């Protein structure tokens, strides 16, 4: 059994995005409509730009699946770009601040931002969402739910009490509440103030950032490792989320608030419980966000990520002309006022990919039945602990 791994290829305005997911066990039933459902969510959310009116993302499976079940071989996916205009698009005269344009050109010794921005574009994350749409079906087979929602946008935060209510409800109720929100939030009363904030930014030719949260429910204790820094699940999940364009900060559990509190207010006391899904030990609180020493505790994983505002502004941002060196405003290309809701879907995908990899490292097997046996052996060992 190889370690779960993935890669993507393709440019923003190229013919297609292509992705390969390796390491899933044989025998897992896959529903392609689940993948397309995640792609549709990524294209939604209030504040998106014109590109989303052009693309209608759908994934095609090219390999690794037979009769609806995985073969254990690499799974290749393709998403065709409708806006495949890469050869017709002009070379921008100026690098845009906040993008990889200038640093990429300096890396390549070229004055062609197009050679950089086509791959640096967040369009690539559509394939990440598709690959995660496959990988998360393994986690769901074992009762693990990955759920992202927006908690802040443009400086306006949702009501945390209503978030708590949503997570106390069933998974179906929680998903329905998020689907009813134009911002993928769990606070129904937040939508109108958020809409007004986005409309004001659009009118001003500006953009907005925000914060989203990803929770993983049903995780067993023991995923990840304390052996070395790179093996800690904390560092792996942090790196995965920070790999998303425009993500600037990641926090687990209490996050930065933990630095402001005394230790007595931060620790999660260990308690003895009756027989549970992971044995008789549990935590009285979850300030750590479900991770201790880089290993899952059996409590819900809770991680938040902060996204900066989209740097492409209709009002313009100062830059210089590559050829003349004259100051000018950066060329405006169609963009979102905000894409925090969409980023939450990508964040959910990255967490799912990393957790699926950690899950298969702990419960390895070439076929799904072997993974099931390893998982059940772990559950039984925890009951005896």
Q: Which residues contact 194 (CB under 8 A, 6 or more apart)?
A: 46, 153, 154, 156, 182, 183, 185
Residue 365 pLDDT: 96
pLDDT tens-digit readout, 156-215: 999 999 999 999 999 999 999 999 999 999 999 999 999 999 999 999 989 999 999 999
Confidence of residue 51 (pLDDT cuts 50, 70, 90): low
pLDDT score at 115: 94
DSSP H helices in 171-242: 171-179, 191-203, 233-242
The answer to whether 356 touches 248, Cβ cutoff 8 Å, is no
Per-residue confidence band for 331, with pLDDT thresholds at 50, 70 and 90: confident
Minimal CA–CA distance to 316: which of 307, 325, 324, 327?
A: 327
- Return the exposure string of 213-246: e unless at least 16 CB atoms fall within 10 Å of the residue's CB, then b: bbbbbbbbbbbbbeeeeeebbbebbbebbeebbb
Distances (CA, A) of 124 to 11, 54, 99, 136, 242: 7, 16, 15, 19, 15
pTM score of the predicted model: 0.95
Question: Rounded distance, CA 364 to CA 358, Å?
Answer: 10
Q: Output the CA torsion 136→240→79→70 (10° steps).
A: -30
18-32 residue pLDDT tens: 999 999 999 999 999
At 323, is the pLDDT very low, low, confident or very high (cuts 50, 70, 90)?
confident
- For residue 217, the domain's CATH number is 3.60.150.10
Residue 230 confidence (pLDDT): 95
Q: Which helix (H) or strand (E) holds 127?
A: helix 125-141
Q: Which two tokens stand for residue 171?
A: 């998974």
**What is the Cα–Cα distance from 156 to 142, expressed in whole angstroms?**
36
What pLDDT, on the 0 to 100 scale, is given for residue 48? 78
**Structural domain total, the chain:** 1
CA dist 144 and 140 (Å) reads 5
For the segment 90-102, the average pLDDT, to the nearest whole number, is 91
| Range(s) of the domain holding residue 305 | 5-384
Give the length of the chain.
385
Q: Which residues pair with 29 in a beta bridge?
A: 69
């Amino acid at each position: 059994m190889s370690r779960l791994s993935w890669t993507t290829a393709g440019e923003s305005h190229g013919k297609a995005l292509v992705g390969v997911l390796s390491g899933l066990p044989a025998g897992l039933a896959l529903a392609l409509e689940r993948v397309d459902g995640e792609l549709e969510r990524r294209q939604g959310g209030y504040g998106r730009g014109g590109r989303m009116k052009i693309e209608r993302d759908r994934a095609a499976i090219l390999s690794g699946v037979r009769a609806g079940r995985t073969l254990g071989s690499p799974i290749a996916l393709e998403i065709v770009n409708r806006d495949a205009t890469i050869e017709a698009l002009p070379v921008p005269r100026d690098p845009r601040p906040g993008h990889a344009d200038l640093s990429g050109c300096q890396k390549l010794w070229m004055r062609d931002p197009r050679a950089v921005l086509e791959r640096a574009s967040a369009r690539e994350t559509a394939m990440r969402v598709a690959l995660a749409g496959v990988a998360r079906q393994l986690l769901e087979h074992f009762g693990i739910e990955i759920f992202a929602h927006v908690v802040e946008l443009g400086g306006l935060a949702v009501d945390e009490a209503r978030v708590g209510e949503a997570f106390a409800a069933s998974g179906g109720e929680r998903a329905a509440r998020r689907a009813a929100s134009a911002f993928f939030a769990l606070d129904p009363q937040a939508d109108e103030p958020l809409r007004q904030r986005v409309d004001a930014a659009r009118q001003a030719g500006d953009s907005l950032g925000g914060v989203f949260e990803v929770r993983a429910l049903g995780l067993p204790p023991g995923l990840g490792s304390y052996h070395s820094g790179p093996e800690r699940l904390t560092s792996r999940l942090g790196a995965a989320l920070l790999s998303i364009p425009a993500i600037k900060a990641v926090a687990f559990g209490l996050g930065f608030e933990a630095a402001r509190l005394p230790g007595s207010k931060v620790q999660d006391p260990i308690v003895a419980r009756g027989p549970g899904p992971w044995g008789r030990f549990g935590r009285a609180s979850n300030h750590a966000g479900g991770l201790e020493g880089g290993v899952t505790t059996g409590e819900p994983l809770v991680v938040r990520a902060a996204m900066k505002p989209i740097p492409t502004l209709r009002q313009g941002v100062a830059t210089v002309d590559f050829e003349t060196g004259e100051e000018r405003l950066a060329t405006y290309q169609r963009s979102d006022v905000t894409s925090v809701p969409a980023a939450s879907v990508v964040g959910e995908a990255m967490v799912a990919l990393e957790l699926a990899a950690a899950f298969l490292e702990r419960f390895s097997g070439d076929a799904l039945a072997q993974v099931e046996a390893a998982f059940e052996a772990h559950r039984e060992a925890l009951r005896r602990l």
